[in-house]
A and B are shown apart, each in its own frame.
Chain A
Amino acid sequence: MSLLKISNLHAGYGQMSILKGVDMTLEEGEIGVIVGPNGAGKSTTLKAIFGMLNITEGSIEFDGEDITGIRSEELASHRIAFVPQENNVFHTLTVHENLEMGAYIRRDDFSRVMDHVYEIFPPLKEKRRQPAGELSGGQRQMVAFGRALMIEPKLILLDEPTAGLSPMFMSQIFDRVIAINKTGVTVAMVEQNAKQALAIAHKGFVLANGANSFTDTGRNLLENPEVAKSFLGG
């Protein structure tokens, strides 16, 4: 059974439809990367999973349960975490408080997970008493990841995690994504830097005009001359 199964998804904002039949399947423990030109509906697909859009047709199944059109507040309790592209930390809260808020739905003792997050992102431990808004872009991204990890998610959705970061931070972020994935978390990621992202992906989904144009393993997509020609830039 697949962990995430999106079939024939049609969705949009209000009356305007953006997704016109997206299919996506992820097995547990995989990294899935969604790539495609601007306006293809990459981020929209993530937002549709997260209940932030009107779904008109199709279905989303998670762990055997139908979660189509679920409200965003409820997803955390299904252990799905989302890291938006922008404004993904609480700027006025300290780093530590950001992590605590990540664990808001947990009523158990989460100090072990907190220690684990500080272990993966050592700079955060140093700056735990600082407001997250004062951190650099790369460190803010760490806070956003850390916040998402606090529920020990089964699936983590990342919307362009490297957007606006320098190349050095970019490879660091990809390393972290691999590290998070190694702990058993399934990752669904939208990326602009298609080549690097597909290189770490188990599965890749190339979207165009709101629908899949290619679906294959990351390696095969990278080697597919048609994909390369149409969109990876040769």
Chain B
Amino acid sequence: MNDLVFFINKGLLSGMIIGSIYAMGAIGVTMIFGILRFAHFAHGDMMTLGAFVTLIIAALLASAGVVLPFPIAFAAIIPAMAVTAVLAIGLDKVFYKPLRNAGARPVVLVMASVGVTLMLQGLIRLFAGVRARDMFIDQPKDIFQIPFPGASRAVILTEPQIVLIGFTVIAVLALHLFLTRSRLGKAMRAVSDNPELARITGINTNHVVWATWIIGGGLACAAGSLLSMDVTLKPDLSFNILLPIFAATIVGGIGQPYGAIAGGFLVGFCETLAVFNWSVLLRPIQDSLWFELPRNMALVPTEYKLMVPFLILIIVLIYRPTGIFRGRVL
């Protein structure tokens, strides 16, 4: 039974947590691609930026004497999402919009986003330094041990992990309702489907672009903040998960928000299950096995974890070239 709990902790929960982060990042990347037609490489740093905004707001709240029954950083996420959304619209206005208006080809915008990545990384290091920071400035994070029937080990979940899972569920539901029920959400799908026809129909493209950055920026901030609460906040925090996020986006079908969610969780689970030590689960049935169990039986050594998303990417694209949800052909 203890082995099963170990599997739940190290395999299922870890996969779900990293999957949630990937999904929220991939939703932004896929929507920006759908509406604005370019791969936004600065998305990882938008996550880091959002996490720093959360930290700053939390520090401001704490110095103003606000005391809450839970760590103050959680309360800071909501206003930080709004600030990051505004910053995202600002970045678009200064760097991407002039290029779009000049009729630049998508590859030029991709290059511009690489430039924005470098700029954001530089700015963050300039003002915040390179050291790792703890997001819990007023009180430590709670760690919950949920007893599992018949096992002496407990299922372990930390406070930010619970918030992350809950937030992802709410964000996905809210996004679904927004895209299928609201006028602006439907307009976003229309622009993503056929930008020329949307223009002829009189859909205000500016509103749609703003909505895209608000959703992309807001989710990036939430994902970045919760990820840095789960580990620590570092300037290169999210840059390292940019590639799995892009893999998740493409696996799900680029331009498809639901695909991004599915792709995020698929990549997240595969990654953790690939490095999971399967001999732990197999040990109880060692007697009925025909081979001796090695001490460590992970499919992929941990150092090669980053390879997993791309392996999935290759496998999915061979059988379904446009991704699980049939996205655009690139």
Contacts and interface: CB of A to CB of B under 8 A. Distances in A.
A30 interface: no
B2 interface: no
Interface string B187-205: 1011011101111111111
Nearest to B205: A73
A101 B191 CA distance: 10
Of all A-B residue pairs in the complex, the 8 with the closest CB atoms, nearest first, are A76-B202, A105-B202, A90-B193, A72-B199, A101-B190, A92-B193, A90-B190, A104-B203
A17 B71 CA distance: 66
Given A50-B200, A73-B199, A100-B183, A93 B205 contact: no
Given A75-B202, A104-B203, A90 B196 contact: no
Given A73-B204, A77-B202, A104 B194 contact: no
Contact of A101 (B186, B192, B196, B205): B186
Contact of A93 (B186, B199, B204): B186
A180 B24 CA distance: 47
15 contacts: A72-B199, A73-B203, A76-B201, A87-B197, A89-B197, A90-B190, A90-B193, A90-B194, A91-B193, A93-B190, A97-B186, A101-B198, A104-B202, A105-B202, A151-B202
A100 B194 contact: no
Contacts of B203: 73, 101, 104
Range, interface on chain A = 20 to 34
A82 B196 CA distance: 11
Given A84-B197, A87-B194, A90-B193, A100 B186 contact: yes
Contact of B183 (A77, A104, A147): A104
A87 B195 CA distance: 10
A102 interface: yes
A87 B196 contact: yes
A84 B199 CA distance: 12
B266 to A, nearest CB: 22
A20 B19 CA distance: 59
Interface in A6-45: none
A25 B186 CA distance: 37
B255 to A, nearest CB: 10
A109 B213 CA distance: 29
Contacts of A209: none
A88 interface: yes
Interface string A103-131: 01100000000000000000000000000
A151 B193 CA distance: 21
Contacts of B190: 90, 93, 97, 101, 104
A84 B200 contact: yes
